Amino acid sequence: MIKEMPSQEKPREKALLYGLRSLSNRELLALILRNGIEGKSVLEVADELLQKNGGMAGIARATRQQLKSCKGVSDIKALEIMSCFEIARRSVLEPIYDTDVIANVDSLVYWLKLELGHNLQEEFMVVYLDAGLHVLNYRILFRGSLNMSAVFPREIFKEALLLNSSNIILVHNHPGGTIQPSEADRAVTNRLCEIAKLMDIHIVDHIIVSNHDYLSFAHSGLL
């Protein structure tokens, strides 16, 4: 049990002494959970959370109900865990609004991986940029396998006109982990580029992300 551990090995005291980076994943979760349950320490609850969800990456994309399936995780504790990951996502997004995303593509890709890379379902996002390539807004417009019958150009370009966005970036994720574009990915991209030209809107890139990697159509000569 936590109370029987040496003081310097308890998660809270260890963090105060050596900083948060000294803590393991189970210890970080234990800090958020605070208390265990009868017959199970808070570290053991943290271990079960990690095991059930496949590590921290799995916890980051888990739903409240999935987190609650671990005994000892209440609605409030599930929300507190989820809020930590949401704060991390927003902290990455915030500076992107103030920078040229093409000149700082690493920051953009890091945010996109947080936003879409861990999702279990394929999602299609459009990032709307101003003339200086700063982010104006972004929208997830489609979920499911990519094809022209499901991706509606009308919705993509309507938002661009409303925002007065002259540049856009197309983004979608590959839940399987591969970043190689499919024939459908290429066909959708080519079709949207044709429509964009007619509307005097520039498609800057189409980025495919997974949880570990990404592919840029522009950098790969596919755009």
CA distance from start to end of the chain:
58
Candidate CATH numbers 3.40.640, 1.10.3470, 1.10.150, 2.20.25; the one for domain 2-91: 1.10.150
Domain boundaries, the chain: 2-91, 97-216
Burial of residue 139, with CB atoms counted within 10 A of its CB: 0-12 exposed, 13-18 middle, 19 or more buried: middle
125 vs 97: CA distance, rounded Å = 16
Residue pLDDT, tens place only, 97-153 = 777 887 778 888 888 888 887 777 888 999 999 998 999 999 988 877 665 546 678
Predicted pLDDT of residue 145: 65
Residue pLDDT, tens place only, 66-96 = 999 999 899 999 999 999 988 988 888 777 7
Predicted pLDDT of residue 4: 63
Residue pLDDT, tens place only, 183-199 = 988 998 999 999 999 99
Q: What are the start-end ranges of the E strands in the chain?
A: 123-129, 135-143, 167-173, 202-209, 214-216
Yes or no: is domain 97-216 CATH 1.10.150.120?
A: no
In this predicted structure, the answer to whether residue 9 has a pLDDT above a threshold of 80 is: no
Full 3-state SS string of 63-127: CHHHHHCCCCCCHHHHHHHHHHHHHHHHHHHHHHCCCCCCCCHHHHHHHHHHHHHCCCCCEEEEE
Predicted pLDDT of residue 99: 79
Whether this prediction's pTM lies above 0.85 is answered by: no
Predicted pLDDT of residue 141: 86
